[in-house]
Amino acid sequence: MFEKILIENQVKNYEIVKNIQQRLSVESEWIDSYQDYFSKVRKPYLHKRKRLNLFLAKREKGFIKTAPDAYGKEGGEHYYFSHSFNCIFECEYCYLQDSFRSPDIVLFVNHHDYLDAIEEKLVCGSSDNAIWMHAGEYSDSLALSGLTREWQQYFDLFSKYPHSRLELRTKSASLQYLKKCKPNKQTVLSFSISPHEIASSVDRKTPPVASRLKAMRTLKNLGFSVAIHLDPVVYHDRLAELYRELASQVYEQVGVGVEYVSVGVVRFPSHLYREVARNYPDSIIHTQPFLKSKDGMRRYPKVLRNRMLKSVRDAFLNQGFPESIMYDCMED
C-alpha cells in the first residue's frame, strides 16, 4: 500500500519510527518537515487507490481541540485529538476528501506530547464531570493500529483518571494489536456501521459490517466497552427494513450492552458536497436531493431526515436497546 516512508529528521531515532520501518520494509527517505511535501504538492484524493506515501512526523502544537456540540454523548466535556491525517479506507461520504491537499497518510509519532496535553486536561476534571477525549477526527483510529501500536500507553494514562473517557472510532476489524492490550473501564471502542446493502456500496475498502460486528463481540468479551455509530445514515428505499435487520444482527452478535448508539443522517459542508459529487457522481448518496440547511450544511430535506432518523431509532429501540443510550449526532 505504501510506496515510500518519508521521515522527519527530528523523529528518525524514535523507537516507534524504527518499528514502523521494520514492519513495512519499504524505501525510507529523510526530510526536514512533512509540510514541505504534504501541504505543498496537490495530489488528487482518488490517487489513494494507487499508492500512498507515509509521513512520520512530529506535531508541534494543537494537540487537543474542543469538540463541537453534539459531537458525543450529552454531558461532560468533549475534546478530540488526532495523531494521524487521512485513512486507508475509502468511504464515499468521507470528509477527508476535502480536509487536505493530499490523501497521503501522516502519522505524528510524538505521543509523549499528546499524552502530556491530554493529562493536563484530565487533572482538571472531577468525578461528576466526565472528560471525553475522542480520537480519530482526521483518520480511522484503529485502521493502522497493527502497524503503529500506540494505544496501550493511552489506555495506561486514562486508567489513572476514573472520570476520563477515551473514544476510539473505527470501521476496522483488525484486532491483532488490540488483543494484546489491557482493556480498561475508561476506553470505548466505537464502530460505525450501516446495513450491508448500503455499506457494501458506499464504504469502499472497509471490512464488511459482519466482520465489524464480530470484532465488537470479541472486544466486548475481552473486557472493552463498545459503542455504535449509526452515522452516516444514507437514504435507501428499504431503509426501515434494512435497519431492522441490522438491529437484529447487532443484538445477536453484540447484545444491547453497548455504551451508546449515535444516529446521524449524512450531511456535508457545501465545499465537501462538491467534492463528493465530483469523486462519486453515481453514488447512492445522491438518490435524494441535498438542501442547504440554516447552519450552512447540505442535508436531505428535513421531513425525509426526520423520517429516516425515526426509522433507524425505532429499529434499535424495538430490538431492546434503551432510549437512554441513544443520541442524535450533529443534527441542526
* Chain residues in the site for ligand SF4 (CB under 6 A): 87, 89-91, 94, 96, 139-140, 171
Query: Is residue 107 within a helix (H) or strand (E), and if so which, with residue range?
Result: strand 105-108
Q: Which is nearer to ligand SF4, 54 or 131 (CB)?
A: 54
Q: Which residue carries 475481552 as its cell?
A: 222
Q: Quote the DSSP letter at residue 183.
A: P
State the Cα–Cα distance between residues 67 and 39, nearest whole angstrom.
Answer: 24
Q: Which is nearer to ligand SF4, 8 or 140 (CB)?
A: 140
Q: How far is the CB of 189 from ligand SF4 (least distance, A)?
A: 14
What are the grid coordinates assigned to 167, written together? 473514544
**Residues 37, 38, 42, 48, CA torsion sign:** positive
Q: Which is nearer to ligand SF4, 110 or 172 (CB)?
A: 172
DSSP per-residue letters across 192-238: E---HHHHHHHEETSPPHHHHHHHHHHHHHHT-EEEEEEEEE---TT
Q: Quote the DSSP letter at residue 40.
A: T
Task: Decide: residue 162, CB within 10 A, 0-12 exposed, 13-18 middle, 19+ buried.
Answer: exposed
Q: How far is the CB of 18 from ligand SF4 (least distance, A)?
A: 27
Q: How far is the CB of 160 from ligand SF4 (least distance, A)?
A: 29
**Residues 307, 311, 313, 314, CA torsion sign:** positive
Determine the 3-state secondary structure of 305 from DSSP: helix
State the Cα–Cα distance between residues 82 and 107, nearest whole angstrom.
Answer: 9
Q: Which is nearer to ligand SF4, 91 or 246 (CB)?
A: 91
Q: How far is the CB of 136 from ligand SF4 (least distance, A)?
A: 7
Cα angle 78, 81, 85; round to 5: 140
Q: How far is the CB of 13 from ligand SF4 (least distance, A)?
A: 30
Q: How far is the CB of 232 from ligand SF4 (least distance, A)?
A: 9
Q: How far is the CB of 228 from ligand SF4 (least distance, A)?
A: 15
What are the grid coordinates assigned to 158, written together? 486514562
